[in-house]
Chains A and B, each alone.
Chain A
Amino acid sequence: MAQHEVHHHLGEHEYSYWPLPVGIAVLLVPLTFIALMVWQNPMLAILFGGVSLVLFVLGIAGWIREFFSKGHEEGLGMPAMMFFIVSEVVIFGTMFAGFYMARATHAEVWPQWVPKDMNLTIPLILTFILWASSATIAIAEKLFDTGRNILSAIFVLLTIALGSAFTVIHVMEWLHLWHGGFTLSSNMYGTGFYMLTGIHTSHIIVGLLTMLVAIYLLLSGKAGEHKGHTYIKAITLYWHFVDIMWLLVASSAYLIGSLA
Chain B
Amino acid sequence: MAAVSYKPYFSAGLKEWIFTTDHKKIGIMYGVTSLIFFLVAGLSALAIRLELYQPGLQYMSEDAYNKALTIHGVLMQFWWAVAIWGSFGNYLLPLMIGARDVAFPRLNALSYWFFFAASVLALITLLPGNHIRMLWTGYPPFSLNDNAGPVAFYALIIHMLGASSLASAINLVVTNLTMRAPGVTLKKMNLFLHSFLAMNVIQILGVPALAGAVTMLLMDKYFQTAFFDPTRGGDPLLYQNLFWFYSHPVVYVMILPAFGLISEMIAVFSRREIFGRTSMIIAIWGIAILGFMVWIHHLFTSGVPDWIRILFSYTTVLIGVPTGIKIFNWVFTLYKGSVRFTTPMLYTLSSIFMFLIGGLTGIPLGLPAFDIGVHDSHFVVAHFHYVLGMALTLAVFGGFHYWYPKFTGRMYNELWAKIALVLVMIGSNLFYFLQFIVGLEGMPRRYADYPAIESWIRLHELQTIGSMILGFGVILAIANLVFSTKIGKKAEDNPWQSPSLEWLIPSPPPPHNFDKIPHMPEDWDPYHYEWLEKQHKKH
**Chain A residues proximal to chain B, CB less than 8 Å:** 1-2, 4-5, 8-20, 22-24, 26-27, 30-31, 33-34, 37-38, 63, 66-67, 71-74, 76, 79-80, 83-84, 86-88, 90-91, 93-95, 97-98, 101-102, 105-106, 109-110, 113, 184-191, 195
Among B203-211, B329-337, B378-386, the one that faces the other chain is: B203-211
Within residues 113 to 157 of chain B, which ones have a CB less than 8 A from any CB in chain A? 113-114, 116-117, 120-121, 130, 150, 152-153, 156-157
Q: Is the interface of A mostly helix, strand, loop or mixed?
A: helix
A23/B178 contact (C-beta < 8 A), A30-B152, A80-B171, A187-B233 known = no
The residue in chain B whose Cβ has the minimal distance to the Cβ of A79 is B174
**CB-defined A-B contacts under 8 Å, sample of 25:** A1-B178, A4-B179, A11-B510, A13-B20, A15-B16, A16-B19, A19-B106, A20-B109, A23-B110, A24-B113, A26-B160, A27-B116, A30-B159, A38-B153, A72-B105, A76-B104, A76-B178, A80-B103, A86-B205, A90-B209, A90-B212, A94-B212, A94-B215, A102-B233, A113-B233
User: In the bound complex, what is the Cα–Cα distance between A1 and B153 (angstroms)?
Assistant: 43
- Measured CB to CB, the closest approach of chain B to A96, in angstroms, equals 10
Residues of A within 8 A of B21 (CB): 14-16, 19
Is B101 an interface position by the 8 A CB rule? yes
For the complex with contacts A15-B19, A16-B21, A102-B233, 4 further pairs of A-B residues with Cβ separation under 8 Å are A4-B101, A13-B22, A97-B238, A184-B223
B242 touching A94, Cβ below 8 Å: yes
The residue in chain A whose Cβ has the minimal distance to the Cβ of B231 is A187
Is B362 an interface position by the 8 A CB rule? no
Residues of A within 8 A of B113 (CB): 19-20, 22-24, 26-27
A102 touching B212, Cβ below 8 Å: no
Q: Is the interface of B mostly helix, strand, loop or mixed?
A: helix
The residue in chain B whose Cβ has the minimal distance to the Cβ of A71 is B106
A30 touching B156, Cβ below 8 Å: yes
- Measured CB to CB, the closest approach of chain B to A218, in angstroms, equals 23
Residues of B within 8 A of A63 (CB): 106
Is B450 an interface position by the 8 A CB rule? no
B105 touching A10, Cβ below 8 Å: no
A10/B177 contact (C-beta < 8 A), A20-B113, A187-B233 known = no
Within residues 395 to 445 of chain B, which ones have a CB less than 8 A from any CB in chain A? none
A87 touching B174, Cβ below 8 Å: no
User: In the bound complex, what is the Cα–Cα distance between A188 and B235 (angstroms)?
Assistant: 10
B116 touching A83, Cβ below 8 Å: no
A23/B174 contact (C-beta < 8 A), A11-B512, A90-B208, A97-B241 known = no
Residues of B within 8 A of A16 (CB): 19, 21, 105-106, 109
B103 touching A14, Cβ below 8 Å: no
Residues of A within 8 A of B71 (CB): none
A19/B100 contact (C-beta < 8 A), A72-B105, A83-B204, A98-B227 known = no
A87/B166 contact (C-beta < 8 A), A16-B106, A76-B174 known = yes
User: In the bound complex, what is the Cα–Cα distance between A123 and B174 (angstroms)?
Assistant: 37
- 1/0 contact string of B82-103 vs chain A (CB within 8 Å): 0000000000000000011101
Residues of B within 8 A of A93 (CB): 208-209, 212
User: In the bound complex, what is the Cα–Cα distance between A113 and B169 (angstroms)?
Assistant: 41
User: In the bound complex, what is the Cα–Cα distance between A80 and B168 (angstroms)?
Assistant: 11
Residues of A within 8 A of B59 (CB): none
Q: How many interface residues does B have (CB within 8 Å)?
A: 79
Within residues 157 to 176 of chain B, which ones have a CB less than 8 A from any CB in chain A? 157, 159-160, 163, 166, 169-171, 173-174
User: In the bound complex, what is the Cα–Cα distance between A9 and B100 (angstroms)?
Assistant: 11
Contact of A184 among B16, B224, B511 (CB under 8 A): B224
User: In the bound complex, what is the Cα–Cα distance between A63 and B223 (angstroms)?
Assistant: 35
- Measured CB to CB, the closest approach of chain A to B207, in angstroms, equals 7
A15 touching B15, Cβ below 8 Å: yes
Residues of B within 8 A of A26 (CB): 113-114, 117, 160, 163
A80/B170 contact (C-beta < 8 A), A90-B205, A94-B212, A188-B233 known = yes
User: In the bound complex, what is the Cα–Cα distance between A19 and B208 (angstroms)?
Assistant: 23
Contact of B208 among A1, A67, A91 (CB under 8 A): A91
Residues of B within 8 A of A13 (CB): 9, 12, 16, 20, 22, 511
The residue in chain A whose Cβ has the minimal distance to the Cβ of B103 is A76
B238 touching A98, Cβ below 8 Å: yes
Is B534 an interface position by the 8 A CB rule? no
Within residues 190 to 244 of chain B, which ones have a CB less than 8 A from any CB in chain A? 204-209, 211-213, 215-216, 219, 222-227, 232-235, 238, 241-242
The residue in chain B whose Cβ has the minimal distance to the Cβ of A66 is B106
Is B328 an interface position by the 8 A CB rule? no
- Measured CB to CB, the closest approach of chain A to B287, in angstroms, equals 19
User: In the bound complex, what is the Cα–Cα distance between A109 and B209 (angstroms)?
Assistant: 28
User: In the bound complex, what is the Cα–Cα distance between A185 and B224 (angstroms)?
Assistant: 5
The residue in chain B whose Cβ has the minimal distance to the Cβ of A30 is B156
User: In the bound complex, what is the Cα–Cα distance between A8 and B215 (angstroms)?
Assistant: 41
- Measured CB to CB, the closest approach of chain A to B388, in angstroms, equals 24
Contact of A14 among B22, B177, B207 (CB under 8 A): B22
Residues of A within 8 A of B99 (CB): 4
Residues of B within 8 A of A189 (CB): 233
Is B515 an interface position by the 8 A CB rule? yes
A94 touching B213, Cβ below 8 Å: yes
Contact of B106 among A18, A91, A191 (CB under 8 A): A18
User: In the bound complex, what is the Cα–Cα distance between A71 and B106 (angstroms)?
Assistant: 9
The residue in chain A whose Cβ has the minimal distance to the Cβ of B5 is A11
User: In the bound complex, what is the Cα–Cα distance between A139 and B126 (angstroms)?
Assistant: 54
User: In the bound complex, what is the Cα–Cα distance between A187 and B233 (angstroms)?
Assistant: 6
Residues of A within 8 A of B212 (CB): 90-91, 93-95
A10 touching B515, Cβ below 8 Å: yes
Is B6 an interface position by the 8 A CB rule? yes
